Structure 1
């Protein structure tokens, strides 16, 4: 049997059709990279089933906003206790006593959280944020239990306390603040469009009547529906499924944050980011409602990442494909 590493070594020997098939499979792992294409992808023959859970022609959703309620304003961090010595009765002390930090994320968001097919480790920018929180509580960045969540499951997982935090490209919005709390923003993304190189789609107005894919629960759905009212929205469980649907000719484009789209583009040389920014998204660590001490603690961890230069190191490691960084987003506190 040929292992994944050997497949990647032999990729230059494969036919164009075989490379397309490999790209579809690699979408599930979230870390394969292919060389730039010399010609458009081949036409897929025969109807293929939609990915499990995919829904077509979904209803209109509200446009997300973080401005109407000053959503990105958060609580000022207090003095950071030494790792392993959390204040008695605090949320952090309960997590310390439990023996692990339970983090909700996914493993299909290349660059942010994905499972490396060689080592099997879960890696990415969001994973490094989670590891920094674990390090601050336990003195060990690996004292974590990862729980895989879809975008649609994030809020409920926090509400029922099945996770301690969610670190999953989760945008801070006024609607979400009704149900969960957030840290200060740790990353700023811009919604754009991902299309195939031979599709002719280079800007939003060309999406009229087209099928545009997004992961269910993403804030990008309402925004693209508002910008292009006649778009045909398709939703899936994961972003990797959106890439597969594009490769199979079942979707014409994907629209969400540029950082997520860049991770998809890393997996397939026949897709590209196009068009201007359609809106700004502020990623924050999701925290159960009412745990203000945990909000302050996580904000303290993020402050350490910014001031120590570790945030920039994480960006350079995972997100340099997006170009030079303007630095971490600066916090605004309400107290």
Structure 2
């Protein structure tokens, strides 16, 4: 009986150790997930809000309604999808107005977590920021008054073109003008409404930018020329060091692309390219 009792004790001790070992391995999974999340994602969760830089002067993409002061658009919906992915709630979002000139600096300074603001992916910009895959592929075009009678960039020889500060449109249109052997003069503005006002007043002869942006400013006196230049691959921009946040953003945009959600949102906002 004594021998049986001893064996029983040893068996029970071994069983306890085995169970303890299995139980001890279970909490390791959340720890791995936390490490994978990265400090920047943890900071967002602790804060309880995702800070996103968006345009407020681009109809259909990011536009602030002067009547309600609400910012809405295609890119705002993308920001909501990312907020839902991280925080479980698409409305846990703090939107900050940015321009082509200010968006990079605000991201660098940590004032915002992401930029979803018609930010074209270029090799030069990829040296400074991480990007998602493009959520829209657009082209550079020109908006002119119908009364000008222009049909293409070639007809703008000696004319003035307005573009947004720090946007790729200036460089791309200049390259096309050089190919055609024509001379054009560029004027940079801090916002898209300013460019449209300049066009209306006759201070410039054409408004250059992404076709999808220009489409929001077409009226019965203006037309977008048929020319399409330099494909613009717009993506979500993230600080270079924020690798964990980058992965979440990339995965979110990829899932929306595969599920057809991106196409549905473009249809919702009637975006033309």
The one-character-per-residue Cα deviations of 1:139-191 (angstroms, maximum 9, x if unpaired) are: 11111111111111122122221110000000000111121111111110011
Q: Does the 8 Å contact 2:37/2:245 carry over to 1? A: no
Rounded Cα–Cα distance in structure 1 between residues aligned with 2:171 and 2:37? 43
Aligned twin of 1:13: none
Alignment of 1:159-198 (within 5 A): 159-198=108-147
2:197 is aligned with 1:248: no
Q: Partners in 2 of 1:215 and 1:291 — Cα distance?
A: 28
Q: 1: distance between equivalents of 2:105 and 2:68? A: 31
Does residue 120 of structure 1 match 2:73?
no
Does the alignment pair 1:100 with 2:49? Answer: yes
1:131 aligned to 2:80?
Answer: yes
**3-state DSSP class of the match of 1:198?**
helix
Q: Which has the larger radius of gyration?
A: 2
Q: Match of 2:138, SS?
A: strand
The alignment partner of 1:206 has SS state of: helix
Match of 2:236 in 1: 285
Which of residues 202, 211, 215 is equivalent to 1:262? 215
1:87, distance to aligned residue in structure 2 (A)? 5.0
1:233 aligns with 2:186: yes
Count of residue pairs the alignment pairs up: 237
Determine helix, strand or coil for the equivalent of 2:43: helix
**Cα offset for 1:118?**
3.9
- CA change 1:86–1:115 in 2 (3 A) is farther
**SS class of match (2:96):** strand
Match of 2:16 in 1: none
**What does residue 256 of structure 2 align with?**
305
Query: Is residue 314 of structure 1 aligned with residue 265 of structure 2?
Result: yes
Q: CA deviation at 1:88?
A: 5.3
- Structure 1 runs (4+) deviating above 6 angstroms are none
* Native 8 Å contact 2:36 2:244 kept in 1: no
Q: For the Cα contact (< 8 Å) 1:155–1:176, is it kept in 2?
A: no
Q: Deviations for 1:245-304, whole angstroms, at most 9, x for unmatched residues?
A: 111111100111110111111xx3211111321110000101001212111110111122
Deviations 1:43-88 (A, max 9, x none): xxxxxxxxxxxxxxxxxxxxxxxxxxxxxxxxxxxxxx9xxx8955
- Normalising by structure 2, we get a TM-score of 0.82
Q: Does 1:296 align with 2:247?
A: yes
Alignment check: 8 A CA contact 2:118 2:234 kept = yes
Query: Are the counterparts in 1 of residues 38 and 244 from structure 2 also a CA contact under 8 Å?
Result: no
Higher relative contact order (CA 8 A, sep 6+): 1
For structure 1, the residue ranges without an aligned partner over 5 or more in a row are 1-80, 324-335
Counterparts of 2:46 and 2:157, CA distance in 1: 54
